[in-house]
Structure 1
């Protein structure tokens, strides 16, 4: 039986693929737990220095598999779905101190859209689209959508998209600031891999600390953020990569960062 999550590691980049193409990569309980396991494995694997999250087939992720929640035998209930499936996934994405790229190859709906927006960098194929589909079936946005989307595009736009459930094209998502860039479908994975390979050869320690700072900036005041910047700058300056970067700069050569 084909696994609903597959992972390939090459050149220090782990590509995690959501692999239920016949269901537009919608989540069931098994897939949610497998994704958590793969994220944990990537965090612990020192050979992995960047992570790509992508969908197999035409969709990135259509959110929750509604067949599961409408089945008396299979339905785990919304409390378990949120507390055991989506909330842990979002927390892992934000806590792993390695860059995570959401490669949105097609539709990203509901929780699928919000998982993508929680990643560090979102690259969208021109065939991609984003939709806060929750209001269409009488639900509220979850998977940290109400946290990240207003911060990305502003309160007014986020309110409208969540209440109206409008579909946002890749081009419009880029204009709104939801995604880093839009790439043609033909060169999509090539561009994603180029970005991931670039990140995998950068100073991973500094990138991880930058991610921690960005997380803390969501709730810190200016004084607290400045204090944390000072603390983490001292930590990054003690890394092997900092010593390598300075030596490479002084000697006018390309740095060879080890991620330490």
Structure 2
């Protein structure tokens, strides 16, 4: 059985974790495959949006701690290297993907699974989904960019509450906090993700990519840097065919037909 299911439909790359019996706990092989698919989406003009989801009742229960080898002596720096090359690469691949990425969270998203979802540009959750900062339950520090992502989404005080206690956050509460864009019935999740993804796939792809970069970078930039980046992005964007089409369609009072170029 393929541990990652992948298909492309109507310009949308659908990536699904597929270890339902393990609540989609993430293995090394799965992580590398997801990273490769996100990288491929950036460079493929035929892909104009991405959906990350999962099969079964869980979205991702975190890293599969049973899949690693316990043999051999641990050397100072090994753990930091593993995190840098593993969980952090996965989250970075989502943040840096040049196409908009939607998380369709079908069930429990815990640990790196929660961070995988929250790194996406838009998050749609089934009403049965839960988000859990599970690290404290294992005596661990949050990794996979959790301490970077959460304060930027919900502020430092609430982020510390979730990380200090490790309580499960139901989908409705996650939406109230601003972790989730939309909550839908479980049986409507795929349709909701498809609707948004196909809308994005019909949009001005390069403008969306530049917008994503501007928003992500603004969280770490001063005003002068952010405004300079904005001006540069608009300069670059105005060279695209879609920008010309957008302006022309406005002048001609017709619906634009964006090609993603």
- Per-residue displacement from partner, 1:78-128 (whole Å, max 9, x unpaired)? 445412221111111111111000111100000100111111111111011
1:223 maps to which residue?
224
Contact 1:14 1:50 in 2 (8 A): yes
Structure 1 unmatched ranges of 5 or more = none
Contact 1:68 1:75 in 2 (8 A): no
Q: Are 2:257 and 1:232 equivalent residues in the alignment?
A: no
- Per-residue displacement from partner, 1:155-197 (whole Å, max 9, x unpaired)? 1111010000010000000000001111111211101100000
2:132 maps to which residue?
131
Compared with structure 1, are the counterparts of its residues 46 and 73 closer, same or farther at alpha carbon in structure 2 (3 Å cutoff)?
farther
2:95 maps to which residue?
94
Structure 1 stretch 222-231 or stretch 163-172: which is displaced more?
A: 222-231
Q: CA RMSD in A?
A: 1.7
1:45-60 superposed matches below 5 A: 45-60=44-59
Between the two proteins, the alignment pairs up a number of residues equal to 258
TM-fit CA distance, 1:73: 5.1
1:145 maps to which residue?
146
1:72-83 superposed matches below 5 A: 72=70, 78-83=79-84
Moved over 2 A (4+): 71-81
Structure 1 stretch 84-93 or stretch 175-184: which is displaced more?
A: 84-93
Structure 2 unmatched ranges of 5 or more = none
Q: Are 2:33 and 1:7 equivalent residues in the alignment?
A: no
TM-fit CA distance, 1:39: 1.5
Contact 1:29 1:81 in 2 (8 A): no
Q: TM (normalized to structure 1)?
A: 0.95
Q: CA separation in 1, counterparts of 2:16 and 2:23?
A: 12
Aligned to 2:140, the other structure's residue is in SS state coil
1:181-220 superposed matches below 5 A: 181-220=182-221
Q: TM (normalized to structure 2)?
A: 0.95
